[in-house]
Amino acid sequence: MGRTSTRFDAVEGGGRRVGLGARAAWGRIVDTALEHRCDAVLLSGDVADQENGFWEAVGPLQEGTARLAEEEIRTVAVAGNHDHSVLGRLADTLPPEHFTLLGRGGRWERMTLEKGGVPTLHIDGWSFPGSRVTESPLDRYDLPRVHGTPVLGLVHGDLDAPGSVYAPLAASDLRSCPVDGWLLGHIHAPRLLEAGGGAPWILYPGSPQALHPGETGPHGIWLVEVEEGRLGRPRLQPLSTARYQAVEVQVDGIRDPDAVEPHLLATLEEEVERLRDESGEVLRYVALRVSLTGSTQIPTAVARAVTALGSTGGEKTDISMAQVRVLVDRVADATTPSLDLEEAARSPSALGAAARLLLLLEGRREPAGGEATKLDLLVEGTRRHLERLQRERVYRALEAEPVTDAVAWEHLRLATRRLLHRLASQIGANGIHSAEGSNVQRLQRAP
């Protein structure tokens, strides 16, 4: 509650007013539960923020749970690291027959749903007792094994992240518990793990409203049915009005500089069409991270198109397509100049050095001699440089994405490709692309 999908500031009226808020998503969750005549709505934690969460969440929770309770739909929740204390205070303001907070104080607790006096589902829940938990909540899971009625585990925590301070949960431990399915909270990206062979499924439902460019893919709620005493497999029902997506645009075959932008537009339109099919009618806003790939003979035209699309900062890029507003969040030029990298790598020139580095970074050749050590130093130096940039004052207000080695590699690859473009175009101006015998010499003499 209280959060809004980021990167859509350019949308008139601001995000909150046009259905980009998590609060509006909660309204859609309630509508969907009513429409499907659900028996219960389960919330797996971090529903509210610790700081100002009470006032942000109390109104929507009272209203939503009351609307659900009118149709005898129960809301059942566990607390996460963000709402370990505020969710308890919220629960105390709601009628107990509307809202149940399970597992307060980090003690496992079972609640049984019934239909016509017959138990249909046991829900075993555990709530965060504080903002940090270093032990696995499963160490204390001791609820009795049952037969005949399926059990759903409800817990907030960090899957397969040993050493995490947010309730580390090992998938192998989850699978060895006598439950039929696990509904987890904490991670915003939806993820369903199925092991088969009668092992419980493990589901991170993800944030119902996608909130950040890292939260790609369709977002919504998951519907689970209990039939003939069996817990079914969860099914995603898209509910997010926003979607974040990375798009790759191949420019390989394009030779005409004037064809770059129309090709870009056509690819983006096709992608948005696909996203609409996948994310359902509810989708209104798409933020794209575009990356141009392939090898090109017209690097200057490609670079110009990238700059033109990227400099709009979302505000001036308005490619609305059938009720979906599309913003370009980021554009990267990941093309390589159409030069034979292997051939260029043999040259004892700056171009040759750049080509050899790119082959290494793309995993197309193994490091030889002292190269492995040099490469490690380069990656480490890049990582530290990026971290230093993140700590700079102007960026401090932004949510920092962790700088992993993978992130450093990606930056190095982009920078090396850019360097190759620049070097190749300089040599090109001196005649390297002509078919004369002096080409190789010029290539070798290039500083």
Position with the least CB separation from Mn ion: 186
Kind and range of the H or E element at 275? helix 260-279
- Count of CB atoms within 10 A of residue 115's CB? 11
Strands 230-231 and 226-227: antiparallel
Q: Which is nearer to Mn ion, 125 or 314 (CB)?
A: 125
**CA distance linking residue 239 with residue 22, whole number of Å:** 11
Q: Which is nearer to Mn ion, 52 or 320 (CB)?
A: 52
- Count of CB atoms within 10 A of residue 344's CB? 23
Least distance (Å) between residue 84 CB and Mn ion: 9
Least distance (Å) between residue 87 CB and Mn ion: 12
**CA distance linking residue 79 with residue 103, whole number of Å:** 8
Least distance (Å) between residue 184 CB and Mn ion: 10
CA distances from 201 to 74, 112, 153 (A): 23, 20, 10
As given in the structure block, the two tokens for residue 17 are: 């007013």
State phi, psi for 395 to the nearest 5 degrees.
Answer: -100, -5
Q: Which is nearer to Mn ion, 80 or 218 (CB)?
A: 80
Least distance (Å) between residue 4 CB and Mn ion: 18
Half-sphere exposure of residue 313: CA atoms within 13 angstroms, side-chain side = 3
Q: Which is nearer to Mn ion, 184 or 427 (CB)?
A: 184
Q: Which is nearer to Mn ion, 221 or 412 (CB)?
A: 221
- Provide the binding-site residues for Mn ion, judged by CB under 5 A: 46, 80-81, 186
Q: Which is nearer to Mn ion, 50 or 390 (CB)?
A: 50
**CA distance linking residue 329 with residue 243, whole number of Å:** 12
Q: Which is nearer to Mn ion, 187 or 305 (CB)?
A: 187
Q: Which is nearer to Mn ion, 81 or 296 (CB)?
A: 81
Closest CA to 149 of 191, 173, 114, 175: 114
Least distance (Å) between residue 167 CB and Mn ion: 9
Least distance (Å) between residue 117 CB and Mn ion: 37
**CA distance linking residue 305 with residue 296, whole number of Å:** 13
- Specify the amino acid at residue 174: L
For the chain, counts of helices (H) and of strands (E): 12, 20
Q: Which is nearer to Mn ion, 174 or 331 (CB)?
A: 174
CB 278 within 8 A of CB 319: no
Largest CA distance in the chain: 90
**CA distance linking residue 57 with residue 1, whole number of Å:** 6
CB 317 within 8 A of CB 326: yes
Q: Which is nearer to Mn ion, 222 or 285 (CB)?
A: 222
Least distance (Å) between residue 287 CB and Mn ion: 23
DSSP string, 90-136: HHHHS-TTTEEE-SGGG--EEEEEEETTEEEEEEEEE--SSS-B-S-
Least distance (Å) between residue 164 CB and Mn ion: 10
Least distance (Å) between residue 125 CB and Mn ion: 15
Q: Which is nearer to Mn ion, 122 or 186 (CB)?
A: 186
Least distance (Å) between residue 20 CB and Mn ion: 21
Least distance (Å) between residue 44 CB and Mn ion: 9
Strands 242-250 and 168-169: unpaired
**CA distance linking residue 291 with residue 250, whole number of Å:** 9
